[in-house]
Structure 1
């Protein structure tokens, strides 16, 4: 049996706005810009992608699943993401080598530091 990871589905109050934000943040391409399914991927035929779908309820608690990113320059990437509209998030992580941020709808993600060892 073969199993291929196609995408991560993200619930959103405004899928188009949130999908555009993530497309810009990641430098990914838009495959579908419908208000019902806004899909982005690293490249047109490369997976996995992110699929943003509308939900009526807002986010109320810490994500049970989040994305981690490892940039070449953590400080520069955190500054760039904050300038795009991300914000610092405190999910009880304390002092760590990674920085926890939230996208414009409050979904947490981490910007990792340099890989050790």
Structure 2
């Protein structure tokens, strides 16, 4: 197999605003600040990245695909993301060890329990 995972594409209303939010949330680099297709990556040349593409229709339902993040300190990361503008989200998960949040356009993502010390 000769496939390389290049990026995840997120449909959104405002690629620049959402892309900048995610760049700040992840500490990633902006590769392309085009207002129609805004791209971020962990660093120039590293993959995968996230491409935010403008679409006319609003998000209406729960995501069919979402990102999971494993932090060193779940409580600290959740607090930081909420301070950046994330919101708690309920997708029917009930009581779990992970926290479901949504970005400023309502795209859900999970902050998993803290990493175990090595």
Q: Which TM-score bucket, shorter chain as reference?
A: over 0.9
Partners in 1 of 2:61 and 2:96 — Cα distance? 21
Partners in 2 of 1:114 and 1:12 — Cα distance? 29
Q: 2:104 maps to which residue?
A: 104
Deviating above 3 A after TM superposition, structure 1's stretches of 4 or more consecutive aligned residues are none
Structure 1 unaligned blocks of 5 or more: none
- Report deviation, 1:115: 5.0
Q: 2:73 maps to which residue?
A: 73
Q: 2:13 maps to which residue?
A: 13
Structure 2 unaligned blocks of 5 or more: none
Confirm whether residue 89 of structure 1 aligns to residue 72 of structure 2.
no
- Report deviation, 1:105: 0.1
Q: 1:44 maps to which residue?
A: 44
TM-superposition CA deviations, 1:15-56 (whole Å, max 9, x none): 000000000000000000001110000000100000000000
- Report deviation, 1:114: 3.0
TM-superposition CA deviations, 1:45-93 (whole Å, max 9, x none): 1000000000000000000000000000000000000000000000000
- Report deviation, 1:113: 0.1
Q: CA RMSD in A?
A: 0.9
Aligned residues: 116
Partners in 1 of 2:49 and 2:91 — Cα distance? 25
Partners in 1 of 2:69 and 2:102 — Cα distance? 13
Instruction: Give the TM-score of the pair, scaled to structure 2.
Output: 0.96
